[in-house]
Chains A and B, each alone.
Chain A
Amino acid sequence: MPPKEIDHMDVDSDSDISIDLGHNNKTKGKVKVKAGEKRKQDKGKAKAKDTQAYTWEASFTRSWETVQEDEAGSLQTSVEDLLARGRRRRLLAPASAIRRTIIRHLILILDLSSAMMDRDMRPTRFDLMLQYAREFITEWFDQNPLGQIGVVGMRAGLGERVGEMSGNPQEVLKSIADRHKLEPTGEPSLQNAIEMARGSMNHLPTHSSREILVVFGSLTTCDPGNIHDTLDACVKNKIRISVVAIAAEMKICRNLCDKTGGQFGVAMNEGHFKDLLFELVPPPAQRAISRAAGAGATNPAADLMMMGFPTRLPDASPLSLCVCHSEMKSQGFLCPRCMSKVCDVPTDCDICGLMIVSSPHLARSYHHLFPVKPYDAVQDEAAVPDGSTTCHACARPFPSKIANAKEGISSIGRYRCPDCHFDFCSDCDVFVHDVVHCCPGCGK
């Protein structure tokens, strides 16, 4: 794509409803008017007119109609509804602890076909995908510090290794940092890319997860063989495939996800695209293991791993070469087994192969294992103890009355911890469960 056109795009991209069509036929925002657009003309998501909803859009049909103003003309109640919906989703989550896969391995397959130059998402699908992929990788490593990510591109009918499997977020981000090296071209090949990803995960131990996340923008795939064979091989190798489609739902993508236990979603818009990606950040529940063998049998999905806890060299220590980049540096970490110096943890030692982690990395995963109990919404004003007029955590005064009380949302804005019986405001409730993972009342 010539950069000139992109510049042009930026100028009129502020408004979706540009009306000077005669003057500038390049205006294409949500409303597509590009003449040469053969393939995408019937795409539901870009249509302004709502002739028929696609199956994957069912829950989003005319969503603006559900947003209603209250008597005072404020949107506050609708916002609270959305909040309540989020709360309820969390409350519906299984109360008992589920076993999650803590050691994860993920291959991120990025579509680099020419379909990604489409501009139905601003600025282009390709740029948006890269931007979200970066945010996804950062967030993913934040929540899965012991995981590893590799990146594979689908371009010109081939699978292309963009980034090797690595546990260092900086290295993964660097592999997709240069957009000119990833310039989309040609047709994508799902089979080639998945085979490549499968090949690089074959050797992994059984206690780690093997996951593939495909960001797919094309409506076609150009495969050398039968992709259903690949699918069967993935099922056999216990690889979980998730697909986030940008264009539309494809039968093969849906099959890939359903048969391997992954998630499938079609992005409606930029925000939804991000939501779909970020749903895959928390570690997945571990699959049911065949219980025919009985509880006494050893669990193939559990294993003991040998890990090294390195010594951190102070910043003022004498310079030496690191084994990973051969750079002269003073700071670094010493592998406890072979005493070689690596730049960053967690990583596998380049010399002896020992997995090197620091104790905070292990601690970062603990909140998945010991979640905070969901708070109960207090509905009855009689249940309020004397003297508690402010949120126990942030000292914000509780509102006297919120107009509409729905299931999962408190009519008096109080959420109570089942353990310590202190009341918290809705902001702190969300904050405690999503970020802190530690109840301010009982301290656990």
Chain B
Amino acid sequence: MDYSHLSVVLDLSPAQWQECSTDQESALSLSSFLSQLLAFLNAHIALRDENTLAVFAALPGKSTMLYSSIDPPEQPPDMDSNSYPPFKLLDSAVISSIASNLDSPSDLPSALVGALTKALCYINRLSLGHSALADPRILILSVSPDLATSYIPIMNSIFSAQKLKITIDACQIFGPDTVFLQQAAHLTGGSYLHLNRRDALLQYLIMAFLPPPSIRKILAVPTQDRIDFRAACFCHKNIIDIGFVCSVCLSIFCQPVPVCSTCRTKFPIKTLKRLNASRPPAESNSARPSPASTPLSRPTSASQNGTNGSKH
């Protein structure tokens, strides 16, 4: 078995960490999180001398690489005779780069997508150099809730990870379950954990995320069984079972609409009549706004996708 590569994506949203450290039931401060995380990272590089590691941070509005084992920092830290040098190097590099990046307070949400795509690019760079990069994986430690605008980029990242055979593990340390990370772990064969007892973080990390995917087959790691693959309609954000999809831009609506709100495509009247007739009667009783009301447009730059029939 070859060495294994681990990229860790840290969600360092100051606002969320503030809430997490003052949580009523099980508080976890950023400093105690970092000390447990460093123990986990040290365990990874201690498992095998060849193991490689990269750490990325998702900060408010920006993302950055904190540490990578193939580009060591320019000035090595003062060595301490009581600590193992690789551990010391890693710890001081991670802590100092967090400290230098965490200075500007901001209300922007964490740039998780940027950090995730950087981790993908980094693994791509490694796999270009070495022909046999065994078991690359990404571990996302998140504290933020899902960000609706990042749905498409996150899905794109998940599909490219699938293509590169990268396993994505996700650990939601604070806040509600995130559907995006659940899907990421499910689609790439990783595990998703939602922490109940945050003070036992290190134990969770070591038991669930330390073994590389090749070994997990013979271990009982937590897997997700119930993942919701239903979609939310673009008009009312309702979770729906049966939806109506625009053939041009794949926008999802919960009822037949005459005009697609995303790409302004007009649909034939015949289809509307047919679809309205075929809808289950129970659904049509539920309160629904008139089809003429303009639904909310998608928050992404959806309008670039061709206007009505004028593109070819």
Listed in ascending order, the chain A residues whose CB lies under 8 Å from chain B are 96-99, 102-103, 142, 207-208, 285-289, 291, 295-312, 314-316, 336-337, 354, 358-360, 362-367, 369-370, 390-397, 427-428, 431-432, 435-444
Contacts and interface: CB of A to CB of B under 8 A. Distances in A.
A362 B231 contact: yes
Interface of B: 63, 65, 68, 71, 111, 113-114, 117-118, 120-122, 124-125, 128, 150-153, 155-160, 163-164, 183, 187, 225-227, 229-231, 240-250, 252-253, 256-257, 260, 265-269, 271-272, 275, 278, 280, 300-302, 304-312
A98 B125 contact: no
A208 B118 CA distance: 36
Contact of B122 (A303, A363, A395): A395
B245 A307 contact: yes
Of listed B231, B257, B304, residue having the most chain A CB within 10 A:
B231
A302 B152 contact: no
Nearest to A420: B114
B37 to A, nearest CB: 20
B114 A99 contact: no
Contacts of A362: 231, 245, 250, 252
Contact of B243 (A309, A391, A435): A309
Contact of A432 (B65, B117, B272): B117
Contact of A305 (B71, B163, B247, B304): B247
A97 B275 CA distance: 29
A86 B154 CA distance: 27
Contact of A370 (B157, B269, B271, B305): B305
13 contacts: A98-B311, A99-B305, A99-B311, A291-B309, A304-B245, A305-B244, A309-B241, A336-B242, A369-B249, A369-B250, A431-B121, A437-B156, A443-B113
Chain B contact residues, majority secondary structure:
mixed
Nearest to A312: B229
Contacts of B226: 312, 314
A392 B62 CA distance: 11
A436 B118 contact: no
Contacts, number: 216
Contact of B183 (A97, A301, A360, A437): A360
Given A98-B311, A304-B256, A443-B111, A436 B117 contact: yes
Contacts of B309: 289, 291, 295, 297, 299, 301-302
Contacts of A309: 229-231, 240-243
A437 B160 contact: yes
Contacts of A367: 152, 156
A304 B261 CA distance: 12
Contacts of A390: 71
B124 A427 contact: yes
Contacts of B230: 309, 311, 359
Given A358-B229, A359-B230, A393-B118, A366 B267 contact: no
Contacts of B113: 438, 443-444
Contacts of A96: 304, 311
Contact of B242 (A307, A358, A396): A307
B95 to A, nearest CB: 18
A302 B248 contact: yes
Nearest to A205: B247
A302 B122 contact: no
Contact of B121 (A298, A302, A432): A432
Of listed A359, A395, A431, A443, residue having the most chain B CB within 10 A:
A443
A156 to B, nearest CB: 39
Contact of B306 (A97, A358, A359, A437): A97
A102 B247 contact: yes
A410 B122 CA distance: 21
Of listed B152, B247, B268, B269, residue having the most chain A CB within 10 A:
B247
Contacts of B122: 393-395
A289 B266 CA distance: 14
B222 to A, nearest CB: 13
Contacts of B241: 308-309, 311, 336
A114 B244 CA distance: 48
B19 to A, nearest CB: 23
Nearest to B126: A394
A444 B63 contact: no
Contact of A102 (B118, B250, B266): B250
B181 to A, nearest CB: 14
A256 B246 CA distance: 31
Nearest to A440: B117
A312 B304 CA distance: 34
A113 B230 CA distance: 46
CB-based closest 8 A-B pairs:
A288-B312, A393-B121, A336-B241, A314-B225, A363-B155, A207-B247, A99-B306, A443-B113
Given A302-B266, A307-B243, A369-B250, A438 B117 contact: yes
Nearest to A314: B225
Contacts of B151: 363
A165 to B, nearest CB: 18
B177 to A, nearest CB: 16
A57 B160 CA distance: 35
A62 to B, nearest CB: 31
B310 to A, nearest CB: 6
B249 A395 contact: no
Contact of A369 (B243, B245, B305, B308): B305
Nearest to B112: A443
Contact of A428 (B121, B155, B227): B121
Contacts of B250: 102, 362, 365-366, 369
A305 B227 CA distance: 25
Given A305-B245, A337-B280, A436 B308 contact: no
B246 A302 contact: yes
